[in-house]
Amino acid sequence: MTPYRAIAFSGSLRDGSSNTALVRMAQRLAPPQLAVDIIDWLDQLPWMNPDLEPDPPAILQQWWTALRDADALIVGMPEYNWSPTPLAKNALDWATRPPDDRAIAGTAVAFLSAAGRGGGANAQANLTTILGYLGAHMVEEPPVRLSSVADRLRADGTTDDPEIEEAVRAKMEAVVEALRARDAAATDTAPEA
Ligand SMILES: Cc1cc2nc3c(=O)[nH]c(=O)nc-3n(C[C@H](O)[C@H](O)[C@H](O)COP(=O)(O)O)c2cc1C
């Protein structure tokens, strides 16, 4: 079977970022049915400005194409002041455009967070609600909201903590299950030939 295709990005630009490490871990631990490509150019997107939509710059078209070609989107989601980072928010706002043909519609979306005390729950919550409303398939369970784990993650996405690996592995398996359920639902509703 051809694997499902996921793209993944980190909402942190920081050298040694825990969330970039989680994205690399997700790529490494994803089951064979899910091929994960990491993209690292979303900081080049323009700030959200609907004036750009009639003649979208090449990088925005590249983002929309990457989303439309993917079955799933994995986001390493840090939390700044109870919110997603500007990079993540901007990329995801663009993902909800254009309004009559949202690039993220139909995509399975999974958040992985390494943050402070709350583990990124606030950053995940608001976007989970709105992206689901706008047509993404939010893979909420099992949550990956890791608190104060920076000293247990290496930049290459490895760790000596089996619980972190298990959490990320389970999330990637949940993404595959969500895509299978999506496909099964589409088959059930397809008109008979
Ligand atoms: C400006 C700023 C605000 C932050 N606010 C929060 C917060 O509200 N909740 C939280 O859990 N952590 C917060 N943190 C801590 C970050 O989530 C933590 O440093 C995390 O490791 C950043 O992700 P990274 O390692 O991928 O860069 C904040 C950090 C910064 C720089």
Q: What pLDDT, in 10s, does the model give residues 31-50?
A: 999 999 999 999 999 999 99
Say if 131 falls within a structural domain: yes
Q: What pLDDT, in 10s, does the model give residues 77-89?
A: 999 999 999 999 9
Q: H helices within 46-161, ranges in order?
A: 58-69, 86-95, 121-133
CATH of residue 151 = 3.40.50.360
- In angstroms, the Cα distances linking 133 to 73, 126, 130 are 16, 11, 5
Are the C-beta atoms of 164 and 152 separated by less than 8 Å?
yes
CA 143 / ligand 1 centre spacing (Å): 18
| Residue of the CA atom closest to atom 11 of ligand 1 | 116
| Residue of the CA atom closest to atom 1 of ligand 1 | 80
- For residue 20, the ligand 1 atom closest to its alpha carbon is 26
Q: How many H-runs (helices) and E-runs (strands) does the chain carry?
A: 5, 6
Say if 193 falls within a structural domain: no
Say if 115 falls within a structural domain: yes
The number of domains in the chain is 1
CA 128 / ligand 1 centre spacing (Å): 19
- Domain hosting residue 143, numbered range: 4-49+57-188
User: Mean of the per-residue pLDDT values for the chain?
Assistant: 96
